[in-house]
Structure 1
Amino acid sequence: MGADPVGSGHGAAPGGSVPILRVRGLSREFRGFLAVDGVDLDIAEGSVHALVGPNGAGKTTLFNLLTGFLKPSAGSVLLAGGQELAGRSPEAITRLGVARSFQITSLFAELTPHQHVELALASPTGLGWRFWRSDRALARFAERAEELLDQVGLSGHGHVPAGSLPYGSKRALELALALALDPKVLLLDEPTAGMGVEDVDRTSELVRKIRAGRTVVLVEHNMNVVASLADRVTVLQHGKVLAEGPYAEIRHDPRVITAYLGDSHAAR
């Protein structure tokens, strides 16, 4: 790539397609520090789009802005169809079809995976908050819960306490919970963090499987995972978009190499 490896496609969905998420001028300030600084970003419908960057680049803050866990200081996040997401609550954003997983697992240790997924399926109906009133009320979700557990490879573990699951299986359960919301856009925060090689491979294959019919945005440090999954990669540094494009191009961008490894590597 040349002096401007990003080219004119910065922030634009590839192929001129209408993006399912369109981010413009998104910023978040913390006591004078701009953790996210004027980010423009288009996420193409049906794509896997990775957000990467060195520690402190603003990836998690951007993720939290997209999903309502932080309110922006400035900027816009438009969902296809014209709905503004910026400033909405996480619950409102979820109802519009944008769901997320978290980097740190947050499961109920004593509940089974099956119970977790039933509650997730019930939550849009309001039953999830009153699950103790009627087991029969939740029973209507049992079949779909089994389907989702099978989809993430947990069909044989649906009725054991979630706290007893190995780490990789807990992450798979969190994916099932996100899928239970039937999202148009699924945001995954470090889906392979803390995993061994086998779990990383299994999770990558799972993401490849569940992307069918939806858009996936992931924050990921493992560049092998990014290379195998992402159609497009956005690299952040100091809260700004440093570069964007297919992984095969991004990996050779001197600015990206400098951001990750330092000037001495970029000069090679």
Structure 2
Amino acid sequence: MSATSSSTGSTDTDPVLRTSGLSKEFSGFRAVSDVDLSVAPGTVHALVGPNGAGKTTLFNLLTGFLKPSSGTITIEGHDVTGMRPEQIAQRGVARSFQIASLFEELTLAEHVELALQGRDGTGYRFWRSDKRLRRYAAETGRLLDQVGLGGMSGAPAGSLAYGQKRALELALALALSPRLLLLDEPTAGMGVEDVTRTIELIKRVRADRTIVLVEHNMQVVADLADRVTVLQFGKVLAEGGYQEVRENPDVITAYLGEAVA
């Protein structure tokens, strides 16, 4: 059976995300240089590299927070080069970095309800009728269950441990119903137990969506990534499966070093 065309103009075998010759200069310094990236649908694609490799700049380009100096970005076959963040979000893209800081006094359920209201275009209303609350109750419960916070819906966000706050932020991103989810350092600052829980969480939420993540913890990359792109000095140094990249001599020298020794 041949791949079917979608309303977006792409097929189910086309890359969800593609960049061609993507570059970004700051006062003559090239933070990202001629990056060609192709992210297959339904995969977890990791971006790794040493500090200063250009990972965050690349994320900012992909989500519209920066405009490229040259090159193109397409999402599901649509050229989104130079679009604003909210326009790219409307293409079904959510990024963990974009989620607003949590309101310490609001409950977990209230946070998710606000995100759902924003998705539906009804605005962010702190004063809502009981009818409006009931409208979002089922989906709010489902999202909190999905990220392992189902039993805490009435708790204030300020009472959460660090790993739980990151889980809530992920629930807020999922409330936008993204087809493409970009996660910037999802396990940064976490202890071993929280890292393990976050890995399992990402495995659960990857169904029916594509994930691009920046991650320094190579065990997380090994557990999650279908494909890995290694950046160095803003350029693609290597790309492939985790094991292939792990054994690449250039990658070992440039980045992994003792991590694979």
Whether these two folds match at TM > 0.5 is yes
Take 1:260 and 1:127, find their aligned partners in 2: how far apart are those partners?
A: 46
Q: Aligned runs of 1:200-219 on 2, under 5 Å?
A: 200-219=195-214
RMSD of aligned alpha carbons: 1.9
User: Are positions 1:227 and 2:189 aligned together?
Assistant: no
User: Are positions 1:37 and 2:33 aligned together?
Assistant: yes
Take 1:103 and 1:261, find their aligned partners in 2: how far apart are those partners?
A: 29
Q: Aligned runs of 1:11-26 on 2, under 5 Å?
A: 17-26=13-22
User: Alpha carbons of 1:53 and 1:250: their partners in 2 closer, same or farther (altered >3 Å)?
Assistant: same
Take 1:105 and 1:127, find their aligned partners in 2: how far apart are those partners?
A: 18
Report the secondary structure of 1:23's partner residue.
Answer: strand
**Can you list the C-alpha shifts for 1:25-44, whole angstroms capped at 9, x where unaligned?**
11111111111111000000
Q: Which runs of 5+ in 1 are unaligned?
A: 1-16
After superposing on structure 2, the runs of 4+ consecutive aligned residues of structure 1 that deviate more than 4 Å are: none
Q: What's the counterpart of residue 146 of structure 2?
A: 151
State the AA in 1 paired with 2:204: K
State the AA in 2 paired with 1:213: D
Offset, 1:238: 0.4
Offset, 1:128: 2.9
Take 1:159 and 1:168, find their aligned partners in 2: how far apart are those partners?
A: 18
TM-score for the superposition, normalised by structure 2: 0.90
Q: Aligned runs of 1:80-159 on 2, under 5 Å?
A: 80=76, 82-102=77-97, 106-132=101-127, 134=129, 136-159=131-154
Q: What's the counterpart of residue 12 of structure 1?
A: none
| Aligned-residue identity in percent | 68
User: Are positions 1:163 and 2:161 aligned together?
Assistant: no
Take 2:42 and 2:232, find their aligned partners in 1: how far apart are those partners?
A: 26
Q: What's the counterpart of residue 14 of structure 1?
A: none
TM-score for the superposition, normalised by structure 1: 0.88
Say which is worse superposed, 50-59 or 130-139, in terms of deviation.
130-139
Take 2:105 and 2:80, find their aligned partners in 1: how far apart are those partners?
A: 34
Counterpart contact for 1:105–1:170, Cα < 8 Å: no
Counterpart contact for 2:24–2:70, Cα < 8 Å: yes
Q: What's the counterpart of residue 57 of structure 1?
A: 53
Counterpart contact for 1:232–1:247, Cα < 8 Å: yes
Q: Aligned runs of 1:177-192 on 2, under 5 Å?
A: 177-192=172-187
Take 2:140 and 2:89, find their aligned partners in 1: how far apart are those partners?
A: 19
Offset, 1:102: 2.1
Q: Aligned runs of 1:2-17 on 2, under 5 Å?
A: 17=13
Counterpart contact for 1:236–1:243, Cα < 8 Å: yes
Offset, 1:83: 1.6
State the AA in 2 paired with 1:167: Y
Counterpart contact for 1:103–1:193, Cα < 8 Å: no
Number of aligned residue pairs: give it: 248
Report the secondary structure of 2:127's partner residue.
Answer: helix
Offset, 1:174: 0.7
Counterpart contact for 1:103–1:190, Cα < 8 Å: no
Report the secondary structure of 1:37's partner residue.
Answer: strand
Q: What's the counterpart of residue 65 of structure 2?
A: 69
Counterpart contact for 2:228–2:242, Cα < 8 Å: yes
Take 1:96 and 1:261, find their aligned partners in 2: how far apart are those partners?
A: 35
User: Alpha carbons of 1:55 and 1:253: their partners in 2 closer, same or farther (altered >3 Å)?
Assistant: same
State the AA in 2 paired with 1:251: R
Counterpart contact for 1:131–1:138, Cα < 8 Å: no
Report the secondary structure of 1:108's partner residue.
Answer: coil
User: Alpha carbons of 1:91 and 1:34: their partners in 2 closer, same or farther (altered >3 Å)?
Assistant: same
Take 1:259 and 1:135, find their aligned partners in 2: how far apart are those partners?
A: 57
State the AA in 1 paired with 2:17: L
Q: Which runs of 5+ in 2 are unaligned?
A: 1-12
Take 1:22 and 1:46, find their aligned partners in 2: how far apart are those partners?
A: 14
Take 2:211 and 2:17, find their aligned partners in 1: how far apart are those partners?
A: 11
Counterpart contact for 1:36–1:238, Cα < 8 Å: yes
Offset, 1:134: 4.1
State the AA in 2 paired with 1:21: L
Counterpart contact for 2:184–2:213, Cα < 8 Å: yes
